[in-house]
């Protein structure tokens, strides 16, 4: 959101997603219609904005955390890019090959409408083309790390079931949330509110060898909810969890990679997109400097030197969270009625509460990046701050994010 603020689109993006007064809480349940066992409270957009001038000591930023689906955000970014002079967007075109020599990067792309294949030459090229990146492959760069972790949950093939279900809000006791976790011996699931009005995506693990299907979607909704309510499945899709991968290099010569082309996460803690936007912000000004002629010969190399360690840092953080949920042992009495069940849920809920805090309240991950070993950063004597995902200490050492401080008008 800070990067979007600089581009001038933060305000518009902040209007997208959940309604103004919708609390983006994370709640944990045995089944959605039964017991709520833990809840991480988080301020709504309205409250977060109203309080931002008071100065949040844990998240000191003019742009408080915002939750919005990419499908809402991408059109705003596209429209913004199209409004910039000198930017030529070829939406839907497909790059078929890319190469380079000492004078330029060269790529061939096809117009899906006419079938025409065009050649483009550029001083530099950046592949932001996702996990199956053609650009990364053309450069011969491999991912390093862990490629396919096997877990009971969040490790292997997953199904996303997209549902229209305003009545879901009526079956869940305990109030609205943004992420609803269901944890019972029959099925784990995460139901995520898309628009705060009745559209949700339910993520569940597929059994080994199974393919996504409507039937599995219906079964998952029944087992995670434990109660009847009217709903309609809009669609199902598969994705894979269990990646902790970072590209060995973030580019070669005149061609670079960024975003999922350079790293792949299990989406616990929501780091993939954030890390991707940060890559683009880091590379963007360096490419501009190179094109305008003031960057010097070594500036572009600092993109990999600065961002690759962050790729490892952030993917490992996400992995540590997924490990907890994927390997958790469920207490026997979790769904029992009576005092024994109540005590079991209270004890388990306490563990989940701590974990929710670990997963979602991580300002150090977002603000604590510190490029102290970069060749364009001068070293300062003395120890730097400890890199702690859960605590961000504002500091003004070279290579760190400049601390935020409101100054008075004028
Ligand atoms: C279930 C799930 C939940 C997630 N939740 C979060 C979250 O809460 N927070 C978070 O920060 N991240 C989250 N992520 C991760 C996030 O979605 C990705 O990190 C992010 O989308 C990466 O953006 P990208 O632009 O690098 O790649 P992509 O979004 O994959 O975009 C790549 C684009 O390149 C295009 N492309 C590919 N090949 C070509 C070609 N040859 N020619 C032209 N175009 C091409 C594709 O069509 C696509 O549009 C989640 C991921 C999943 C799967």
Q: Is 271 in the pocket of ligand 1 (CB under 6 A)?
A: yes
Q: Is 129 in the pocket of ligand 1 (CB under 6 A)?
A: yes
pLDDT of residue 88: 95
pLDDT digits (tens, 9 = 90+) for 1-22: 999 999 999 999 999 999 999 9
pLDDT digits (tens, 9 = 90+) for 62-75: 999 999 999 999 99
Residues in the chain, overall count: 410
Residue with tokens 């490790």: 155
- State whether CATH 3.40.50.1820 applies to domain 18-58+156-241+329-354: no
Class assignment of domain 68-146+244-300?
alpha beta
pLDDT digits (tens, 9 = 90+) for 375-392: 999 988 888 889 999 999
Q: Is 108 in the pocket of ligand 1 (CB under 6 A)?
A: no
**pTM, two decimal places:** 0.96
Q: Is 94 in the pocket of ligand 1 (CB under 6 A)?
A: yes
The protein residue with its alpha carbon nearest to ligand 1, atom 2, reads: 267
276, 282, 284, 322, best to mutate for ligand 1 pocket (most atoms within 8 Å of CB): 276
User: Which residue positions in the chain have pLDDT lower than 70?
Assistant: none
Q: Is 17 in the pocket of ligand 1 (CB under 6 A)?
A: no
pLDDT digits (tens, 9 = 90+) for 126-160: 999 999 999 999 999 999 999 888 998 999 999 99
Q: Residues with Cβ < 8 Å from 369, sequence gap 6 or more?
A: 278, 310, 400, 401
CA–CA separation, 179 and 359 (whole Å): 12
Q: Residues with Cβ < 8 Å from 137, sequence gap 6 or more?
A: none
Distances (CA, A) of 2 to 206, 305, 318, 329, 362: 37, 22, 22, 39, 16
**Could you state, in order of their start, the residue ranges of all structural domains in the chain?**
18-58+156-241+329-354, 68-146+244-300
Three-state secondary-structure class, residue 345: helix
Q: Is 270 in the pocket of ligand 1 (CB under 6 A)?
A: yes
Q: Which atom of ligand 1 sits closest to the CA of residue 67?
A: 8
């Amino acid at each position: 959101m800070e990067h979007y603020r600089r581009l001038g689109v933060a305000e518009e993006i902040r209007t997208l997603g959940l309604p103004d007064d919708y609390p983006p809480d994370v709640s944990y349940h045995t089944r959605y219609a039964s017991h709520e066992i833990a809840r991480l409270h988080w301020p709504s957009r309205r409250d977060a904005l109203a309080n931002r001038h008071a100065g949040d000591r844990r998240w000191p930023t003019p742009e408080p955390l915002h939750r919005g689906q990419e499908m809402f955000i991408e059109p705003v970014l596209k429209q913004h890019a199209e409004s910039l002079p000198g930017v030529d967007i070829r939406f839907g075109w497909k790059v078929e090959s890319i190469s380079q020599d000492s004078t330029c990067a060269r790529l061939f792309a096809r117009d899906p409408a006419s079938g025409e294949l065009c050649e483009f030459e550029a001083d530099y090229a950046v592949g932001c083309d996702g996990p199956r990146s053609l650009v990364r492959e053309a450069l011969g760069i491999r991912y390093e790390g862990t490629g396919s972790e096997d877990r009971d949950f969040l490790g292997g093939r997953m199904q996303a079931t997209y549902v229209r279900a305003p009545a879901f809000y009526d079956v869940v006791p305990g109030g609205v949330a943004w992420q609803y976790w269901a944890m019972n011996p029959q099925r784990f699931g995460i139901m995520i509110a898309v628009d705060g009005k009745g559209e949700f995506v339910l993520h569940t693990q597929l059994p080994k060898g199974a393919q996504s299907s409507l039937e599995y979607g219906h079964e998952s909704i029944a087992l995670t909810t434990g109660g009847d309510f009217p709903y309609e499945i809009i669609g199902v899709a598969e994705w894979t969890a269990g990646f902790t991968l970072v590209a060995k290099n973030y580019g070669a010569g005149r061609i670079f990679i960024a975003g999922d082309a350079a790293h792949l996460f299990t989406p616990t803690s929501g780091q993939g997109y954030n890390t991707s936007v940060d890559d683009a912000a880091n590379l963007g000004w360096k490419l501009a400097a190179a094109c305008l002629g003031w960057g010097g010969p070594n500036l572009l190399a600092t993109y990999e030197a600065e961002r690759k360690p962050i790729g490892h840092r952030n993917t490992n953080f996400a992995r540590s969270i997924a490990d907890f949920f994927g390997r958790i042992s469920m207490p026997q009495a979790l769904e029992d009625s009576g005092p024994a069940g109540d005590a079991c849920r209270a004890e388990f809920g306490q563990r989940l509460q701590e974990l929710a805090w670990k997963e979602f309240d991580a300002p150090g991950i977002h603000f604590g990046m510190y490029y102290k070993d970069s060749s364009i950063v001068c070293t300062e004597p003395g120890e730097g701050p400890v890199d702690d995902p859960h605590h961000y200490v504002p500091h003004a050492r070279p290579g760190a994010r400049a601390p935020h401080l409101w100054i008075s008008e004028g």
